[in-house]
Structure 1
């Protein structure tokens, strides 16, 4: 017995510690793939792993981190304990922090703590910074963020951004995503920006200086419901491959600046286009425009708040499609207007408005049946999605045109339709199935 115990002790002393002698790149990958809780626990494995944890460059305090932590605490102590745990993690870290992601959960009241944490990492070379504030009131971003000059990725949600006076911009930023962010002073994100996404932000007029120079690296620009938008900014974004303009707040004094034809023509690399249908009003339809306007690289077009009773927008979306020989995907998002007993869209309840709506839809149907559209071919179109279809004659005629003009079409999906009557739905589906198709593979998918 004694000899066996002695042998086991000898074996332990001479055993090879394989887990502590792994190559550096392997241990780095292990830590990167572990949740923060589990990554912290590796520090008890050995002195080597304790040192590795202290040098861990990626700190992600996300939903998974908080849910695991908070589930074991009562409401009275969880804020102070969470604050202490995160502060301790930052305290033991003695290396660079390349990624810092922080979620501020609702009712956790961590704004003051966040100020201190951002101050602590501001001189540690952080490159990827994300802050998602779920509190009902915005987080006023500390000025220490603007000291993180090595940032390459910045993502903020529900914040107030107040840059220091004469802030010169970030020299290395390539990707910026802002959601529900208020910008209070003039600023720029720098000249190396590749991606800029602004979603329900205010104060974007303070980004004027961002668009005073040629954004030669900017390939993606998306602006969603961000108040007044200066159309002239797009004159400095000719390298764009993805463009999204989902806003309608353009002052009357600036509407004359909108030129959709010039915009598309000056962006020859554009591949994906998201538009509010409002902008379709600013494209002069006709054969002359189609000849001038050629978007050879456009493969996906998405039009939001589309209206099938608006003849101008119908004409112009077809104009854009015809001018895009490589278009593969078309998405139309509608508001789901109420329709009359004859399947016509109604945009109002009064007798006058009902009559006006029916007349507009009738004009659209007549246009879609015109001989001038018979020769229209969408050579590469493969997929179409129509959201919130109401079953109007204009919609059915538009689908009929696409089926007859798209030799490579795979499917048309009708999503979230607003047709409540099963009999009416069946009648419309039967009519759709009877339409002639240029592609034998084309399907109508009703979901």
Structure 2
């Protein structure tokens, strides 16, 4: 045999390069594949036969369902049962898009469907699951089983379209760090729906019902996001979260409760979080803060705040005044984002206010980046920009973005505004998004 032939023979006996990779690397490669594709690797060799069955991450989603349909096997339930039956070892991450059961199992009753999902959830909670994500159908009838509330290994929990009613014997999510709830219906056990999570760092609530019953017991909470809540949320349940650093509140509307003062509740929340670094408020919440603040101003100072995002009605004196008060009361503000909400012709009072020295009497020494989005080139907006440019000696970049065509006359007027910072750059463009490197 020639030397080349010997080399070919030797190389042919060697393991392939992928099989020689460390096991954690192989696991990561297979985790990136749909489950059915990962299962196909079992035919490669004896070494690969059971690797897929020991993967710590299972994602059972619509891609698995579509793959089954392409093979004329649309029984999603049987496929998941087989996967769990053959699995070996802990399941660290479990993602289930359960709404595909509505298509694949047309004969299912609501009870049968819940019983099947309860069985799957019980299995993974007994096998060391740390990251659990359940996305149900939009009928909001699935009630979370006790196995979720009693799972001590959970560190990340994401739920959609479920009924959240903790059992009376709930000890709490002792190791939970991230909790994201979307379209959840909270049902109180007694008078409140209590969530005990001593290590919780991040909480997100999106479009949830029954938030007026919610009570969070998590003194270490650092990030709070509340969007599109359909009912009044008692923000005072977060008053004891002294470590809150990021607060984002976007509520289009709330049910009025005469016994509660929304404005004072929002103010008290901001007063009670001395470590707050990032604050995002939509126009509704700016309106709540803007009530009756003239001429006394906001009764708090946000000393740690460095990033402020506001949606402002530029045609109303209250929201403009409140926005400037928040800016003034944030002595370490570095990044400011303004989203223009509405503009009308009735702005004489606002223009008059922006011309008064008291509206922004001090310089903003730390402000470096400003972004104004949905700019409409109104007189009020131009006066606001002119005011900021004259009070920001540390400004490095201001981006003004509008959706309509660029107005050359407006661009020239903006460029002629005096700037307190000699190095300030002004960008005026037409885009759908801003890029200011504003990492939160």
Q: TM-score range by the shorter chain?
A: 0.7 to 0.9
Give the superposition deviation at 1:118.
1.8
Alpha-carbon separation, structure 2, partners of 1:277 and 1:137: 33
Distance 2:325 2:341 in 1: 22
TM-score normalised by L of structure 1: 0.80
2-structure distance, mates of 1:139, 1:282: 39
Report the Cα offset of residue 404 of structure 1.
Answer: 1.8
SS of residue matched to 1:28 = helix
- Measured after TM superposition, the shift of residue 189 of structure 1 is 4.2
CA distance in 2, matches of 1:257, 1:378: 26
User: Offset at 1:145?
Assistant: 2.6
Determine which of 341, 348, 359 is the counterpart of 1:335: 341
Change (3 A) 1:434 1:109: farther
Q: CA RMSD in A?
A: 3.2
TM-score, normalising length: structure 2: 0.81
Matched, 1:219 2:222: yes
- 2:416 maps to which residue? 434
Cα distance in 1 for partners of 2:62, 2:367 equals 40
Q: Across the two proteins, how many residue pairs are aligned to each other?
A: 404
User: 2:140 aligned with 1:138, yes or no?
Assistant: yes
Structure 1 residues 404-424: Cα deviation after superposition (integer angstroms, max 9, x where no partner): 22231402222435xxxx69x
**C-alpha contact (below 8 Å) 1:180/1:199 kept by paired residues:** yes
The alignment status of 1:102 with 2:104, answered yes or no, reads no
> Distance between the aligned counterparts of 2:139 and 2:243, measured in 1?
37
Matches of 2:149 and 2:278, distance apart in 1:
32
Partner of 1:242: 246
Aligned-residue offset at 1:92: 0.5
> 1:192 maps to which residue?
199
1:115 paired residue among 102, 113, 118: 118
Answering whether residue 233 of structure 2 is matched by residue 229 of structure 1, we say: yes
Q: List per-residue Cα deviations over 1:240-297 (Å, max 9, x = no partner).
A: 00012223525232117715554334322111101231332257456x757x743232
Q: 1:365 aligns with which of 351, 356, 371?
A: 351
CA distance in 2, matches of 1:268, 1:188: 23
CA distance in 2, matches of 1:364, 1:309: 7
Unmatched segments (≥5 aa) in structure 2: 106-112, 431-440
CA distance in 2, matches of 1:66, 1:146: 28
Task: Kindly state the Cα deviation for residue 11 of structure 1 after the two structures are TM-superposed.
Answer: 6.9
Q: Which runs of 5+ in 1 are unaligned?
A: 2-6, 345-357
What SS does structure 2 have at the residue aligned with 1:372? helix
Distance 1:266 1:136 in 2: 36
Higher helix share: 1
CA drift at 1:128? 0.3
How much has 1:217 moved relative to structure 2? 1.4
- Residue 280 of structure 2: which of 270, 274, 281 is its match? 274
